[in-house]
Amino acid sequence: MTGRGAAGAPSPAGSRVKDRTMRQVVFQGVRPGEYPANLQENFRQLYRFYLDEERRAELESMGWLRRNSKRFWWLLKSLLSKLSPGRRLALAAAMVMALLGNWQFSSGDVRLSFNLRGWAFVIVLVILMLELKDKLLARSEIEVARQVQIALLPRTHPQPEGWSIWSMAQPANDVGADLVDYIDMPDGRLGIVLADVAGKGLGAALLTAKVQATLRAVAPEVRSLADLGTRLNTILHRDGIDNRFVTLFYFEIDRGSGRVRYLNAGHNPPFLVRADGTIETIEPSSIPLGMMADCACREGHLELRPGDLLVAYSDGLTEATNATGQEFGPERLRALLPGLRGLPSEEIVARVTREVNLFLGGLRPHDDLSLIAVGRALGR
């Protein structure tokens, strides 16, 4: 990965802009064949960002004429509300100037004429430059956070004898709110975790790092996973912020046998695919962590026999939505799994990821995608 410089520091690419023509700057990286699809996706993202789900549903219930007028008005109000006060007033003034067009003043023999649309364009350009400056400064900081987050992810996938283990974590944005991790226990057990922090962005990523650090500190000390869940919930509720919670699927495997103990705190039910093709689900035994001061957690047990496969995933995978508004859904994932039995976990993760990307049809996922596949080899 190529890192970025410190905030405000000119990048090597930026220092070469003066050596390029305006045409080279404008058309750099433009691929004409991709432009219509990219433009359509950009408009879709703007629509979802500036109008919440309730507003969008309300628009769908209106007639064509009223829907389009309301859509424009609500988008404009949402845009203005997200600007700082000074920029908000400047943009409002620019819109008024653009509507007025040419302004004329006459007094006696004195006649003055001003092209207000030209000044409106200048004001909008200055606002755009200021917003872009803020974005680039913030992006430099987020890039540092991304590098830190990548450094905290597992560098290798443990492969105990007789087991096949692989995982994938794909953030929707620069930083992610999903956690995939492996924890080596003093007694030889291996802890595997898939957690999903509610929300997106830097705040959710910071809470993800806290969950990881807390898990690594607490998991080796507790006797039962019920105690682990209770302690995690206490810490996250005490130190967390409003409307932030964590769904967690944590399990430990005994390297020398197929015994597994697990804790599912409000997470999507993982699939357990038996060697004969039977599929079981591991349902949550508690609410997500950090929501309430008290949380009754329960430890579960199962056994992975030779040929069995355990697949855990985040909701970003099953809620991946294509251009027609359809979700990938847990049933599509479930239907894939019987045909993946016996394959190495790395290939299982690759095939599921490929199926999701084909379903999306080139669209970017709107949430983080995470997946863990743990299989026990035949004859073990």
Distance of CA 1 to the CA centre of its chain: 19
The pLDDT value given to residue 121:
94
Question: Which of 294-299's residues contact partners 24+ apart within 8 Å by CB, and which partners?
Answer: 294/233, 295/229, 295/230, 295/233, 295/237, 295/265, 297/225, 297/226, 297/228, 297/229, 297/230, 297/233, 297/263, 297/265, 298/226, 298/263, 299/224, 299/225, 299/226, 299/261, 299/262, 299/263
The pLDDT value given to residue 242:
66
CA distance 116 to 127: 17
Cite the residue boundaries of each domain of the chain with CATH code 3.60.40.10. 156-376
Is 236 within 8 Å of 289 (Cβ atoms)? yes
Of 292, 288, 272, the residue nearest 334 (C-alpha): 272
Of 372, 163, 378, the residue nearest 253 (C-alpha): 163
Q: 14-48 pLDDT, tens per residue?
A: 545 667 787 777 777 777 777 677 778 788 888 88
Is 243 within 8 Å of 204 (Cβ atoms)? no
Between the alpha carbon of residue 312 and those of residues 265, 274, 330, the distances in Å are: 13, 14, 11
Q: Is the pTM above the cut of 0.85? A: no
Q: 163-220 pLDDT, tens per residue?
A: 999 999 888 877 778 899 999 998 889 999 999 998 777 778 888 888 999 999 999 9
Is 250 within 8 Å of 285 (Cβ atoms)? no
CATH number of 156-376: 3.60.40.10
Q: 265-289 pLDDT, tens per residue?
A: 999 999 999 999 999 999 998 999 9
